[in-house]
Amino acid sequence: MSIAAISLISFYLAFGGYLATIFSCLLKKERVAEVFFVVGFISHTVSQITRAWYLGFFFPNPMVNEISFLPWCLAALGLGLRLWKKEVWPRTLIPVFFFSLITMLSPKGILPPFPKNQTFLSPLFFGSEVFAHACFILGSWFAIFYLRKKEGCRIFNDLVIWGFVFFSVSQIVGALWAYLGWGSPFHWSDRHLGSAGLWCYYAAYLHLSFVARWDLRRRAWVAILGFFLIVAFSWDYQFTEFRQMIGG
């Protein structure tokens, strides 16, 4: 069996695990749900790691490609919440399942290597950026629950703040990579401008807490709107990359 096949099968197992988690939750079998979720997450981790050997040699970038890495980050955050804030973790299941479904329906394969992504800065940039997106997305998801007055969902604010920290780190790692590879840390391209726009949007969000009339309820709306900006500026870019995929 090829590594690519192992990667694909372990992802299907992960998807099955997440699906079984949702059914177990619906049947109020919490312990069983937790076991399925952990099994799904382990399979998903195997799938992500084996993606690095998709071409027969080690190439780490496919591990952190947004389409497959985003649901993994969401699941990792879900596991983290299970440990620190047990009462809210089942709420992470829908986003994990939804984005895993997108991965499932997306073309399989990886983006081919090119001379300028042969540096650790490249996977570090994509990895931290996708993790930040996961924090923002989960933040906007919990913001919906917060507006519906569900308990424990104030956490959306923390998720957005940590998303911003990771997004800032990703932007500077990306700037270093762009400088070494293309001679400039910033480029006039829709991708770079979109990322800068997203950074400014969430920087504005952070400053809202200093103005009294922007209470947590109003900020929740801003967090929800952020989700659509991520889709507009990042996912559009990811989908255009499908045409370049190989080995699917």
Residues binding other proteins (CB under 8 A): 55-57, 112-116, 118-119, 161-162, 165, 168-169, 171-172, 175-176, 179-191, 193-194, 196-198, 200-201, 203-204, 207-208, 210-211, 214, 229, 232-233, 246-247
Residue closer to other proteins (CB basis): 8 or 33: 8
Residue closer to other proteins (CB basis): 43 or 140: 140
Q: What's the closest the beta carbon of residue 15 comes to other proteins, in angstroms?
A: 25
Residues 196, 207, 217, 90, CA torsion sign: positive
Q: What's the closest the beta carbon of residue 18 comes to other proteins, in angstroms?
A: 29
Residue closer to other proteins (CB basis): 104 or 206: 206
Residue closer to other proteins (CB basis): 5 or 203: 203
Q: What's the closest the beta carbon of residue 36 comes to other proteins, in angstroms?
A: 31
Residues 65, 70, 72, 73, CA torsion sign: positive
Are residues 62 and 51 in contact, defined by beta-carbon separation less than 8 angstroms? Answer: yes
Residues 202, 219, 160, 76, CA torsion sign: negative
Q: What's the closest the beta carbon of residue 10 comes to other proteins, in angstroms?
A: 21
Angstrom CA distances, 121 to 4, 62, 128, stand at: 24, 14, 10
What is the C-alpha separation between 102 and 89, in angstroms, rounded? 21
What is the C-alpha separation between 200 and 105, in angstroms, rounded? 32
What is the C-alpha separation between 68 and 73, in angstroms, rounded? 9
Tokens for 206, please give them.
């952070």
Q: What's the closest the beta carbon of residue 64 comes to other proteins, in angstroms?
A: 18
Tokens for 202, please give them.
């969430």
Q: What's the closest the beta carbon of residue 91 comes to other proteins, in angstroms?
A: 22
